Structure 1
Amino acid sequence: MSYIDFALYKETSLERWINRTYQQHGLHYASDMDIDRIADIWGIQIFASAGPSEARWKDGDYAFVFLNAYLNKEQQREAFFHEMCHPLQHTGDQVRMPPLFMELQETQAGLFQLYSAMPVYMLEEFKAIQHHGHYIKVLSEEFCLPIALVERRVDQIIRRVRQEQADRELIELQRPAAPPPYSQPTLDILDKLRRQLREKQAVNG
């Protein structure tokens, strides 16, 4: 696995908001990512349910996330980070909204899920791992998330880092080249001309 230069990773405004909120509440490492603690930060209550995982909320009043009790821990956490987006970012009842608008909200929730489940700043402690397969496995275990979700997040990060690298290289290529340094004979001629100019100015007073 090639080295990931996290300094080149550009966060979105949504991602910055999530990361800033986490850090303000003392979430700095993968071991801090307890979903009950995270739910408390945003005033969300978690309930086990025999039905599908979903969010229910009323703006300014309550926010509930129901997690299917038959899912394993990794799947429940995956569902939590997705469903958490809806009360935090969305308004309206998906049952009554047009399909395209509902699809947009689900796409937004998918991005929110990646940002909130695996904050990029928490990956610094794992950057010494060089083997890609081992890296994915360790992140899956440390963040307690399904392998597929971890792979999507890592792929997203790598794509953004490579894009930033490409953008910087393009800017560098478009930058005007510095003029070549003068050769020594040219410098000698310029020095001679400067001396002659000074002598002429001295004669003319």
Structure 2
Amino acid sequence: MFIQTTYYQTTALEDWVTNFYIKLNIYLPQDINEDYIAREQKIFLHRKKIAPFYQVVGKYRGITIDIREPIIKQREIFFHELCHILRHSGNQGIMNKAFRELQEWDTKHFTKYAAIPHHMISYIPLNDENVINQMVNMFKVTPELCEERLVQIKKGIGKSQKNTYALT
């Protein structure tokens, strides 16, 4: 049984991610592919035994992912670094703390939305007792991220339904 998600109100960032994916013809969970996304965005994707980071130097844009991490964690790291390249500017090492924290807040949310985008919520059996495991298998990310996103989705549905019923 699926929960009705038509009441769910998206955030501007969720809409941004959905539009980004649609422009890349990413409609299904199995369409989400780091190599494809990087290639389409002209980002060099490197997998090495070093701490993850992103780089923008002139026209060069690159993401390095630590291959010592589990594969599902690597995907989350990719989304984190991708957010920095697509949405941020400046050198975090020299920017003020508040601005750096704002960018990190953005990357945390972007990672959740890119890993489990709004336009794919309908594929998630939200009432199933094994929903977290199904999400892990479907979206190839950690159970922790799936649980965070699931809580967020259910809260969003609950808030929107309360607001809808209050209006009628």
The two structures share one fold, judged by TM-score above 0.5: yes
Q: Which residue of structure 2 lines up, in the alignment, with residue 63 of structure 1?
A: 61
- Is contact 2:14-2:118 (8 Å) kept? no
Matches of 2:121 and 2:14, distance apart in 1: 14
Match of residue 40 from structure 2:
41
| Aligned positions of 1:1-205 closer than 5 A | 3-58=2-57, 61-127=59-125, 130-132=127-129, 134-172=130-168
Structure 1 residues 148 and 65: CA distance shift in structure 2, 3 A: same
1:19 is displaced (CA, Å) by: 0.9
Deviations 1:147-166 (A, max 9, x none): 00011111111111111111
Highest CA radius of gyration, 1 or 2? 1
- Give the whole-Å Cα distance in 1 for the aligned partners of 2:40 and 2:166: 42
Instruction: Provide the C-alpha distance between the structure 2 equivalents of 1:160 and 1:130, rounded to a whole number of angstroms.
Output: 15
Q: Deviations 1:128-153 (Å, cap 9, x if unpaired)? A: x6323x11101101111000001111
Say whether the 8 Å CA contact 2:2–2:124 is kept in structure 1.
no
Give the AA of the match of 2:41: W
Mapped to 1, the partners of 2:128 and 2:161 lie a distance apart of 22
d(CA) in 2 for partners of 1:122, 1:166: 23
Name the Cα RMSD after superposition.
1.7
136-145 or 116-125, which deviates more: 116-125
Q: Distance in 2 between matches of 1:12 and 1:130?
A: 23
Report which stretch shifted further, 92-101 or 34-43: 34-43
What one-letter code is carried by the residue in structure 2 that aligns with 1:27?
I
How many residues in Structure 1 have an aligned counterpart in Structure 2?
168
Identical pairs, percent? 27
Task: Report the secondary structure of 2:6's partner residue.
Answer: helix
Determine the C-alpha separation between the residues in 2 that align with 1:167 and 1:62. Answer: 47
**AA partner of residue 78 (structure 2):** F
1:18 Cα deviation after fit: 1.6
**Alpha-carbon shift at residue 101 of structure 1 (Å):** 1.5
> TM-score scaled to structure 1, two decimals?
0.76
Structure 1: stretches of 5+ with no match in the other structure: 173-205
- The structure with more helix, counted as a fraction of residues: 1
User: How does the TM-score come out when normalised to structure 2?
Assistant: 0.91
Please state how far the C-alpha of 1:46 moved relative to its aligned partner: 0.9
